[in-house]
């Protein structure tokens, strides 16, 4: 997800990162000793992470994380958590990594390290199919929905001229838009396009080729000062991309290779 953390939250994390981060040596050895890689994501970002009808957490990010764990020689442990607190949870040692569609930004790189990027994403605005909106100015005075803590939330608030409402995740945003309680939603391009293709949702993307926020690298977050863990995860990711595993996962969940 073009994800996601507010400027204020990042500032707080920067100030407290040294105190909050566990004082550990490189964590790769500990992960292998424990036999487990704990992976955080929201579980509310289809097709990257979602809860299926068997109450299982599945999706592109889950599959990527599971394969990385396998190549490290450990079992994956999937942890779902609210996005607006996910980075703080990583720094506090609640899990080993975030494989949850987090966009790589300079602010985030101040407090965590990234493996990847493992795909690229862009910002898009979706409106109901019968909407007359064609440009950003047409949304002035309207109500715009975003996911709490996403970079899209910061962008929408800085642009101004409309009312911004925040939600926990993409399913809520799509439902609110289709039910007419929102005039537009600001989300990543890929999940929006997948939602339209898979469910024939009565929404459309505004054609805004110059919209700020395109082609952002999405990475795997780990705590700082873990070069061995970073190298091992990067090798696993590189090998997946080289041997066709990544493409297979991407086609299954997204419909195309998105690296």
Asked if pLDDT for residue 94 goes beyond 60, the answer is yes
Whether 137 and 220 share a structural domain: no
Q: Is residue 170 part of a domain?
A: yes
Instruction: Say yes or no: 110 and 228 in one domain.
Output: yes
Q: Are 97 and 113 in contact (CB under 8 A)?
A: no
DSSP string spanning 107-132?
Answer: HHHTTEEEEEEEEEE-EEEEEETT--
- Answer whether residue 1 is part of any domain: no
Task: Indicate whether 111 and 128 sit together in one domain.
Answer: no
Q: How many domains does the chain have?
A: 2
Shared domain check, 174 and 84: no
Q: Mean pLDDT across the stretch 207-232?
A: 88
Q: How far is CA 14 from the centre of its chain?
A: 20
* Contacts of residue 49, Cβ cutoff 8 Å, sequence gap at least 6: 41, 42, 43, 57, 58, 59, 60, 61, 62, 80, 100, 101
Which residues face 76 on adjacent strands? Answer: 37
What DSSP state is assigned to residue 2? B
- Whether 116 and 224 map to the same domain: the answer is yes
Domain match, 232 and 174 both: no
Q: Which of 205, 228, 245 is the last residue of a domain?
A: 205
pLDDT of 2 over the 60 cut: no
- What DSSP designation does 104 have? P
| Residue pLDDT, tens place only, 43-72 | 999 999 999 999 999 999 999 999 999 999
Residue 215's CB is within 10 A of a number of other CB atoms, namely: 9
Are 220 and 111 within one domain? Answer: yes
Q: DSSP assignment, residue 214?
A: -
The pTM (predicted TM-score) of the whole model is 0.78
Residues 113 and 14 placed together within one structural domain of the fold? yes
Beta strands in 143-215 (DSSP E): 143-147, 163-167, 184-188, 203-205
The residues facing 37 across adjacent strands are 76
* Assigned domain for 259 exists: no
Task: Give the model's confidence band at 214: pLDDT under 50 very low, under 70 low, under 90 confident, else very high.
Answer: low
Q: Domain of residue 233: give its range.
A: 7-120+216-253
CB neighbours of 67 closer than 8 A, spacing ≥ 6?
Answer: 236, 240, 245, 249
- Whole-number average pLDDT of the chain: 88
User: Is 211 within the bounds of a domain?
Assistant: no
Whether residues 154 and 232 fall in one domain: no
- What pLDDT score does 199 carry? 64
The average pLDDT across 130-142 equals 94
- The 10s digit of each residue's pLDDT in 154-207 is 899 999 899 999 998 888 999 999 999 999 999 988 888 887 777 667 888 998
Examine the domain organization and report whether 113 and 225 are in the same domain.
yes
For residues 22 and 103, membership in a common domain is answered with: yes
The lowest-confidence range among 22-36, 99-113, 141-155 is 22-36
**Rounded to the nearest 5°, which phi and psi values hold at 7?**
-60, -40
Asked, for residue 44, whether it belongs to a domain, the answer is yes
Predicted local distance difference test score (pLDDT) of residue 98: 98
Residue ending a domain, choose from 167, 185, 205: 205
CATH of the domain at 167: 3.40.190.10
């Amino acid at each position: 997800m073009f994800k996601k953390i507010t400027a204020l939250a990042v500032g707080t994390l920067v100030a407290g990162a040294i105190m909050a981060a566990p004082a550990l040596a490189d964590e790769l050895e500990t992960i292998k000793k424990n036999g487990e890689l704990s992976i955080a994501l929201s579980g509310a970002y289809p097709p990257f992470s979602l809860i299926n009808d068997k109450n299982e957490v599945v999706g592109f990010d889950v599959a990527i994380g599971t394969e990385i764990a396998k190549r490290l020689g450990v079992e994956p442990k999937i942890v779902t958590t609210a996005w607006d607190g996910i980075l703080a949870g990583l720094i506090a040692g609640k899990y080993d990594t975030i494989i949850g569609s987090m966009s790589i930004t300079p602010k985030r790189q101040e407090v965590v390290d990234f493996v990847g990027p493992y795909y690229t994403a862009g910002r898009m605005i979706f409106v109901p199919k019968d909407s007359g909106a064609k440009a950003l100015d047409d949304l002035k005075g309207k109500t715009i929905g975003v996911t709490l803590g996403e970079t899209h939330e910061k962008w929408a608030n800085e642009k101004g001229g409309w009312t911004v409402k925040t939600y926990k995740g993409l399913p809520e945003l799509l439902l609110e838009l289709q039910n007419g309680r929102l005039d537009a939603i600001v989300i990543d391009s890929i999940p929006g396009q997948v939602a339209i293709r898979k469910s024939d949702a009565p929404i459309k993307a505004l054609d805004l080729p110059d919209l700020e926020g395109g082609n952002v690298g999405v990475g795997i977050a780990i705590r700082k000062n873990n070069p061995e863990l970073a190298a091992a995860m990067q090798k696993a990711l590189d090998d997946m991309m080289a041997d066709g595993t990544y493409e297979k996962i991407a086609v299954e969940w997204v419909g195309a290779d998105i690296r």
